[in-house]
Chain A
C-alpha cells in the first residue's frame, strides 16, 4: 500500500485480556519498528525487525510483550494479561533499509485502552 497500515485503530480491552495489534508496512520496506506513546508523553521504542536478522527487543517493557514479523512483511505486537499502564497509542513504522539514512514512515497508530 501507499502507507503503513495499522489495525485496529482503536481497541478497548479488559484488564487481564490478551490483545494483538497488527502492522502492514510499506511494500519493499525491510525494516519495521514498534513504538508506544502514552498520553502526553514522547515516543518509547519497543522493538525493531530488519530482514532475517534477530530483532532488537531491548525496548520491550516486560515479558508480557512480544512481537513477530512473518514473511518479512506484516508484524503483530502481542500484549498478554493487559494492565492499565499498557494504555497508550502503539505506533508502527517502516523504512527501506536499516542504516541507509532514510526516514521512517509511521502509521497512524492503534489506541489501546485497558479498562
Chain B
C-alpha cells in the first residue's frame, strides 16, 4: 500500500502558484519523498525528490516539514500544460531495500485559464 495521502483533486488558476500537499506520517528516516506527474495518456514524469531539506529545480520546489511527516510540491507559475495527476511517493533510496516506487491515487490538478 502507498504510504502517502493526497487530496483527490485540486484546481489552480493559470499563472498562480499551485501548492500540492502530501501527508506521509509514517515515513522512516531513510526514506525520500518523490514527486511524479502523469499527463493524460503519457508515462509518469519525474519532478523532484528530497530527504530533509527543501529542494528546488527548474520544474518545482519541494518543501518538507521539519518532522518530515508532510510535504508540499510547489509549481510557482502554473500553466495549462501542468494539468496532470501528481503522485507523492516515499521510497528508500539506498541499498537493496529500495527499488520499486509504490504509487497511490495522486492528486488530479486542473489548471484553469
Contact = CB atoms under 8 A, between A and B. Distances in A.
Contacts of A43: 44, 87, 103
B68 to A, nearest CB: 16
A48 B100 contact: yes
Interface size class of A (residues with CB under 8 A): 20 to 34
Contact of B103 (A42, A53, A100): A42
A109 B95 contact: no
Contact of A93 (B43, B105, B106): B43
A100 B94 CA distance: 6
Contacts, number: 66
B96 A42 contact: no
Contacts of B103: 35, 42-45
A101 B45 contact: no
A50 B43 contact: no
Interface of A: 4, 31, 33, 35, 42-45, 48, 50, 53, 56, 59, 91, 93, 98-101, 103-109
Given A45-B100, A103-B47, 19 more contacts: A4-B43, A33-B99, A45-B102, A50-B96, A50-B99, A56-B99, A93-B43, A98-B96, A98-B98, A99-B96, A99-B97, A103-B36, A103-B46, A103-B49, A104-B44, A104-B46, A106-B43, A108-B43, A109-B43
